[in-house]
Structure 1
Amino acid sequence: MSSQFKVELRTVRMPLAGEFRTSRGRESVREMLLVRWVTDHAEGWAECAADADPVYFPERLESARRLIAEVLLPLVAKNPEVDAAGAHGAMKAVPGNPLAKAALESAILDSELRAHDMSMKSYLGGSRDKISVGVSVGIAESLAALIREVEVYVTEGYPRVKLKIAPGWDVDPVRAVRKEFGDDLLLQVDANQAYTTADMNTLRRLDAYDLLLLEQPLTAEDLSGHARLARNLRTPICLDESITSCASAATAIQMGAAQIINIKPARVGGYLEARAIHDLCLAQGIPVWCGGVLETAIGRAANLQLASLPGFTLPSDISATKRYYVKDIGQEFDIELGTINVPEGPGTGAVLDLDYLESVTVDQEWVL
């Protein structure tokens, strides 16, 4: 492997500000893999979205770690002057594993841009300095608890609220929130693949509540089912888990399965593929927004850079730091008038708190 760079793989474990519940499980502690790419000119950081167990994504944290160290790094290191675009192309030789690929590519990109004193926003072609954001609200223990939680976020200034839904927790919570907060609140729902086409009547009842979108109601593979829903519901269908690449986005659009797309950089293999999906959707007139996976300051900063592109016309899931972490490993991001500022500076703009990072590190290794 080239001596011009070295790579650190670090596992951190961070408590969340509160338990987060979706149709696929509960989470109160976030364990994640960080990738640090160090050259003679700069260093870059990225985080891998893989969980310790394959609950939401098929990749596991430990398998992603080993794949980066034993397969992806030797592959990209064949070019001693490797850059993010070169790594993106080289890693296509390995099937699947977008989370591991995204983490390595993003660390390389951050380092590369910092070496050139260029922001990711400029590199990707973004222009906004402030990003309109929303907040994602998990499945609550009761309707009263849900109303109390949403009230906190509305008071904090979030212009858009996303409710997690599942069979048995769908129409009633949507009705309750709409009644309590009125028609001015931008409201959308996310099913995380919890329904089937047999639930058409239930999902159609959501049309009465003027939702921005219904996100991923069916399984990721069921594009024909999503197309059928799109023909039978007034609420726009947004795809998330179904979108794993620019090719999958093109197929979904062609089939009429997606009227809106949630771009998750980790799921699609990194920010270069995310930009390609954005460009495709912009050309096709499909609105996009940036999804989140409980990112630390590292991923939050990068997602803000991505969301500055012109096609991101809907509020993105890039909430303020305190929504998920009491303390983060980098700078805090605050919401102001419904927006969060894109961080300034080169690369992603993330500024790490190295002392706190050390305190939440549970494992690390240098791969030279």
Structure 2
Amino acid sequence: MSTDPTPIPRSGVLLGQEYDQLRKTGDVHRVLLPDSSLAWLVTDPDTVSRALADPRLALNRCHSRGAWSGFALPPALDANLLNMDSPDHTRLRRLVSPAFSPQRVAALRPGIRRIADQLLDMLVAAGGTADLVTGYCTPLSVQIIAELLGVPEAGRTDLRAWTDTMLTSYPPDRNAVRRAVTELHGYVVNLIDEKRRHPGDDLLSTLVTIEEDADRLSRDELTSLAFLIVFAGYENTANLIASTVLWLLDHDGLDAVPVPEAIEEALRHAPPAPVAIRRFPVADLMIGGVTIPAGDTVLLGLAAATRGTDGNAARLAFGNGPHYCMGAALARIEAEEALTALAHRLPGLTLAVPGTQVHWRPTFRTHGPAELLVRW
């Protein structure tokens, strides 16, 4: 391993062949992030898989020695699953998991198809060319998350704007991010209060009332969880849908292969989360033959790992171990319904520009086309 850190491009985007090259030159790499902070990037598939489930790699930022420079959240939003370790994580996940059961998620299919058809009606009416990211993938994902949580129509535009501010630029505009976090926090708190007064059949109402063995979510835990579902839910799914469309159009069209197979290929070649949420060794830790000091920032390269394996590629795209993504089944169902509806309504869809000219989101935190110009 070279002693000089490998710089991550200012755009934050690493291309597939760059991940392949990193993987060939070592299992673990010292990298310089676009904000000038240092981290360790793990790229070997087996090493990434083991590290994802290793309790010696903590998620709680209290184990960081200060090198991590991601944006901070207020305490009421910090009590979320992406900043928790056992036993707190185990308790919270046990309480929340029933809300994401296979039966509950499967029951969402008709609603997802209805939203997809409505958006395609508008897309077709507007003409024969469009940006599929802004015209279909993103509004579909926003609408589904909003309906899942019971967000009124009036709040959905703001919801998308706040999340975009936090996710889609790197390095971030910290003042803009701080404002977006504050506004989204206030909105979520008010929405929870409304669900307490007037519960419905949405997920947020269920989470407000959920209880097991006299244990229930605290106010901060509930607020943090709702924030996390919004924050992480729509962007990753929108990216997965767009990346799968791109993969299909680069491989002879929407009917080139069955939809579930296309989704697995997109997860392997362009997972929506290129790296897992940062981790911090609780003590000096040997990973891939490299001793990483306690408190250093470790990034587990999901995109590098999925490209380097076949059998468990899609599983690694959603993580591994106790922190495996609870929304994985929902993301797959959304993508399946979105792509099935698209193929049914616009079977002759083609790219309006060569695939090599598609621009990707300028951040290493999420991965997907920034725009996807198509014609039919």
TM-score, L = length of structure 1: 0.29
Q: Whose helix fraction is larger, Structure 1's or Structure 2's?
A: 2
Q: Whose strand fraction is larger, Structure 1's or Structure 2's?
A: 1
TM-score, L = length of structure 2: 0.29
